[in-house]
Each structure stands twice: as C-alpha cells, then as structure tokens.
Structure 1
C-alpha cells in the first residue's frame, strides 16, 4: 500500500478526533446483553455496504456461530446505491414506487432485528441534503418499530482515495456529518448506534481493507464482523487455553481438559470444548492472527513440538513459542466454519434471485402475461432456502476435539 500524502493523513486525523467527540456526546448507553434466540429474524438493510457482503458472508457467519444450533433467519436487503427513500430500488413497474418496494421488502422479511446502514449515498448531497436524510431515516425507523422489530443503526464508512486529498477531505467531512446525525437520532429514539467509520478509517491505514478506496474487500468484511461483535458486547475470541506442563503432571485452564501426559517422552493429550467456532481467516489475513484462538503451553523441554488433531497436523512451534502463546489459524474447527460460510453464501444467492429476479418486470410486473408462469419457480426457491438454513443451524455447533502435542524427532 503506497504512502498517503502528509496533508491527507492530517485531515483524516482531525476529522476522526472531531467525529469521536461527537459520538461520545450522542451515543446512547450500552444496550446490555445482545443475544439472538430461536426464531429471531435478522435483516441487513442499506446500500452497497450490505449488498457487497453477500460475496463474503462474514457478518452472518459471526452471528450464526455465536449461538450454535439456534434457528435464526438472516435476510440481506442491501441494495447498491440505495438511500433511505429506496430510490435505487426502481422498477419498470410504477406503481409500486421504489419506496413502496422498500417498505414491502422490509415487511415481507418479518424482522425482529434490523441493522440499518444508510448515509453513504445521501452524504453526496452535503449539508443541503441532511434534513431530507434525517426525515427518511426517521420514517424508516417508524416502519421497523411498527413491525415490532429492534433497530441497530450503523454509521457510513470513510473513503480513502489517496491522490485527491482535497476532494476526499470534503467527502469524508460530509460522511462524518451524516454519521453524527445518525448517532444523534439513535440517542433520541433510544436505538443502538455503532460507529464503524472510525475503526475502518484507523485500520485502513495499516492494512488494505478498501477496494478502490470506497468499498470493503474480503479483509474489510472480516474486520467489520469483529467491530460489530465488539460493539454488541460480544467477546470476538474463543476463550484462550493455557497448559502448564510440570515434572509429573500437566494442568489446563480455559475450556481444556488434560486426558494424558507423558513428561518423560514429552507428549500431551488434551481436549478443548469451544463455545463457538472461529471465523476462517481470509486470504492474506495475517494481520488478523491476533483475532484467532490462542494456545499457550509452558514447561516444555527445549525443542520443537507439533500439534495434531483427527490425524491432521495443525502447527509446529518451538517450546519458547508455545510458552509465549501460538495462534491457531487452521484445523477441523476452521474447516467446519468454512463449510457453514459456503452454505450461507449459497442460501443468500438463492434469496437474492428470489426477491430480485433478473426479469422482474416480465415475471412479476406489468409484462407478467409473458413470463408470469415463472413466479411459481421463485416461490419454490423457498424450499431450497429453508433446507440450507436447516443445514446451517445443524452444523454450526462446535465439536469437542482431542489434540495431541508431540516432539519433533
């Protein structure tokens, strides 16, 4: 990643400081313990921030694996270029209007919780468009309230173009203005507000998490999942495990249990009962190894030791490295989580083409007399979606796995 112009960095730092002060004033109090229960229905509603997440599935995976086995329905209603008035959801059939489409889509999703991420598109209107935005956001919250659902509001994210610092400064100033308005409305309406502008801005200075300086890439969505977890009051990491090897025995702390130890031959067997599955790292995700489960084993004799489970080699490290703690970034638990993620992506693809069919005008609109027979096929996709959701819930429970640490000979 090439170095940003000095003036650009200064401008971003000043805006981040000012924005943080506003957030401290307007953010509502902690919402308390966040939990998803059986039969909850979660909707992601907004612009490309959510629609692009359909490519990666990290947000849904993080919330799915947190409460394994629960039947929670997720619906992604993100629409690139959309605003609080639903103007990107246009159709050749008019009426209904784009706004009516938005209201219908929210209603049909039957939400119990809606993550709302707007403001990025509207901020292009600057201060002149702020009152229209807040009016639309207020009506959107009214609609969600009328459905008996909870609302969590997200800020927009910054843009990080490097070669046009003056333009970017103005654009980000408008984004922070709209984010502040969202935070203020959240406080006034008793809704939770999550600032994702500041953490995305800060982390993007260290790692390339934005494509073309505008949209989050795979690394960005992995990071966003951890930001949401933190703001929802959820520990983003499985509990760390520490094992102390002594002359005659070994003791474990955390979700681990010693099954067998042989100090003479320096071998160790133990099980780990994890509360939830870890998120599989994206490609080139070395910057996020701190977000992975940590295993610390002290008291080993000098040398190298290999950790295995289910006949699979996980990692080899020196006694000194084990004593300091080793990040576990692969293994059966990651494979299981990756399989769930793949099912989430397939399920969301099925839903996307169900509620946004390519030939909507011909299947559901004013020309349905030509291809309206295909509407039945759209309805039948619900069977596939329901089956995939059942598989996701069934396979999201972590397994108690037996691990063995052996010296490299």
Structure 2
C-alpha cells in the first residue's frame, strides 16, 4: 500500500474514532432532552432528500413515532425527494407555474402539519464551505414557512458517508457533511428548534449501516436511525423487562406481567407491554433495548420452553433464562411487522398521489389530455385512510398469556 493510501486510510479511521469519542463526551455533557409529546390528531411530516424518500420502503421511523402513542390518532406524510435541496431543485416539473420551489411549499401546506421533520444538507454539502451561507438562507426560509403555518420544526442533521468514491473524497465529503450538520445545529439553537444529531451516532457506529454505494442507509441503518431519533426526542428505550421468581412457595412477577396461576408443575402469567417492540429485521435479531426480555429465576438445571397463547415460543437453558431471554418473535413482533408493512403500503399510495407519473399531463398545463386521471388520484384517499385505520387498530399491544412448564425437557 502506498504512503498516500495509508495516510488516507488512517485519516478515515481517526475520523471515525474521533466521532465516536466526541459522541461519548457530548452524551456526558448534555442533559436528556425534554420529551417531545404529540396531541390527539397530530399531523407529522417528513421533509427532505433521500434520507426520507428511502424511508418509504422501510417504515421504521414512522413506526417508531406512531407506536409510541398508541392512544393518539396521528397522521404521517412523507415528502422526501431524492436529490432535493432547500431550494427544491430536484422537484422539477414541466408545469410552470408552479415552479419547483412553489410546488414544495404547496406540498407542505397541503399536509396541514403540526410537526415537520426537516432533513436537508446532504446534497448542499457538496458545495463545501463556499455554499454554506446559501444553504443556511434556504433552510431558514423553509423554517419561516413552517412557522407561518403554526407548525413545529424539528431539524435533523446530515449523516456521514461510509465511502464516497475514493478514500480521499470520503474524508473531504465527511468534513463537509459535519460542517453542514454543525450549521443546522446552530440554526436550531438560534431559533429554539428541536435538533436531532444523526451524524455523531452514525459516525461512531461500527456496524454495517450502509448500502453498497456507501452513501445511503440499509435496513440496519434505518433500524438504528429509529432508535437514535427516539433518544433525541427524549423518549426512553422501548425495552420491557419481566422477571419471574419461581423459587418462592408462590411464583411472583415484576414488570408488565401478572401471575395468573402458580403450581408445582407450571406457571402461567400474562403480559401487556406499554408499546410494541421495534419490528425485527432480517439482518439482526431484536435487542433487549427494543423488545421484551423475560428473566426467570430459580429454575433447576435443564431446558425450559415458554409457550405464548398456547404456541411454543422459545426454549432455553435455566442459565439463559436467569440471564434474560429476548422475545424476538411472537405476537408482539407479528403486530409490529404488520404495522410496518401497512405503513409502507400507505406511504407508497401517498407517493403515487402527490408525485404521479405524467404529472404535467394529469395536473399541469397539458391536463386537457389526461386530466380525467385526477379522479384516480383522489380515489387513493380512501385506500390510504383504510390502511391508516388498520394501523390504528393494531398499534396497541394486546394481552398475551405465557405458560412455563417447570419440568425441564433435558439437562444442560
């Protein structure tokens, strides 16, 4: 390896380590943020570039927010547009008017938002320090527009890239992305807006969070991003810990669990979490911080099977039960996955509605040719509402019954 390549590789590694260290120091210095609270009927909008458009196929961010408030009827609309910047230059259209910029504000107003999460800066950062002032002006103009609607703005930072062409370009691009992240933070501080630092957590995470292009997040990246967002909004980890003591004459349970019956041969208890776990993803199992974990103490050596609603759920050794076993599948995970899937379906329908193919021919100056198809776009409202109703019906955890046979199936 040449000296130049060695230096660049070392620079990338040092940058990553430094980012992780800064994250730890910042966490030590900062107090926990005041938790964000939504109101009944709240409308939340995602506005930005590829970070939000790619979320359309994941649903994790929306799931993280809607499942936190199972008793509130929240509405989410995703206005993410890949390649977009604060001047809406990616939202080009052959229809004039509106201009892309006018179209952006029309789209924001049409959602009637209460909260707008804004994630810009990734595209603009390619202009480096020279383009920073123009970016700041553009972002502040969008904030002004959101303020005028009476909505609350939540500013999200840029995210780093894993690889942008060469190692040298990666270092330069991440330096610029951090520069723009800091600028967004300064705007949030000046204008007293809530700020979400995505850059530092992602830069300090050693897991594979990116697609092969090294720029966009993969499933694991969005799964992690959902947790970062929850923490930044002041919400505690969604973990639920259940402890069952079997060594007493009568079994006891702590956490969101209640003993139904306790006999010599088996224990039956019920469980209802406050919120659903994050849906499991193919690339990794759920962790204790995102799901329910059950700890069972006092078991003799052997292996024990926990049943959920009459179905075998998980078998583990007495030693593993004493440590705590994460319930990474079962009824709650099935609920979470179903909701996430409905979120994705709903968002794809809304995408078709607000960004229809042949927009110029349906809604623009050539509507005289295909304007009849506008009714088809309006008809999507009922389908979207139907999916939102399904999300509403299944977003609250249900009561589950668990049974543990105290006769082990085998020795350790």
Q: What TM-score, normalized by structure 1, do the two folds share?
A: 0.93
Output aligned runs, 1:266-345, within 5 Å.
267-286=266-285, 288=287, 290-345=289-344
CA RMSD of aligned residues (A): 2.1
Task: Please report how far the alpha carbon of residue 408 of structure 1 lies from its aligned counterpart in structure 2 after TM superposition.
Answer: 4.2
User: Match of 2:341, SS?
Assistant: helix
User: Match of 1:104, SS?
Assistant: helix
1-structure distance, mates of 2:140, 2:23: 22
Matched, 1:346 2:368: no
Change in Cα spacing, 1:394 to 1:69, as seen in structure 2 (3 Å) is farther
**8 A Cα contact 1:281 1:288, kept in partner:** no
1-structure distance, mates of 2:21, 2:151: 33
Q: 2:217: which partner in 1?
A: 216
Task: Please report how far the alpha carbon of residue 23 of structure 1 lies from its aligned counterpart in structure 2 after TM superposition.
Answer: 10
Task: Please report how far the alpha carbon of residue 154 of structure 1 lies from its aligned counterpart in structure 2 after TM superposition.
Answer: 0.6
Q: 1:106: which partner in 2?
A: 108
What 5-or-longer segments of structure 1 have no aligned partner?
A: none
Matched, 1:374 2:378: no
**8 A Cα contact 1:230 1:236, kept in partner:** yes
- How many residues align? The count is 401
Q: 2:404: which partner in 1?
A: 405
Matched, 1:391 2:393: no
User: Match of 1:240, SS?
Assistant: strand
Give CA deviations for 1:56-95 in whole Å, capped at 9, x if unaligned: 1011111111111421000000000000111100001122
User: Match of 1:115, SS?
Assistant: strand
Matched, 1:356 2:355: yes
Q: Which deviates the most, 113-122 or 158-167?
A: 158-167
Q: What TM-score, normalized by structure 2, do the two folds share?
A: 0.92
**8 A Cα contact 1:238 1:275, kept in partner:** no
Q: 1:37: which partner in 2?
A: 39
2-structure distance, mates of 1:140, 1:248: 64
Output aligned runs, 1:120-199, within 5 Å.
120-161=122-163, 164-199=166-201
Give CA deviations for 1:141-196 in whole Å, capped at 9, x if unaligned: 00110011111111111001187221111100000000000000000000011101
Q: 1:52: which partner in 2?
A: 54
Change in Cα spacing, 1:330 to 1:228, as seen in structure 2 (3 Å) is same
Task: Please report how far the alpha carbon of residue 223 of structure 1 lies from its aligned counterpart in structure 2 after TM superposition.
Answer: 0.7
Change in Cα spacing, 1:103 to 1:22, as seen in structure 2 (3 Å) is farther
Q: Which deviates the most, 208-217 or 39-48?
A: 208-217
Task: Please report how far the alpha carbon of residue 328 of structure 1 lies from its aligned counterpart in structure 2 after TM superposition.
Answer: 0.9
Q: 2:5: which partner in 1?
A: none
What 5-or-longer segments of structure 2 have no aligned partner?
A: 1-7
From 8, 13, 18, the counterpart of 2:17: 13
Give CA deviations for 1:305-331 in whole Å, capped at 9, x if unaligned: 111112222111011110111111000
Task: Please report how far the alpha carbon of residue 124 of structure 1 lies from its aligned counterpart in structure 2 after TM superposition.
Answer: 0.3
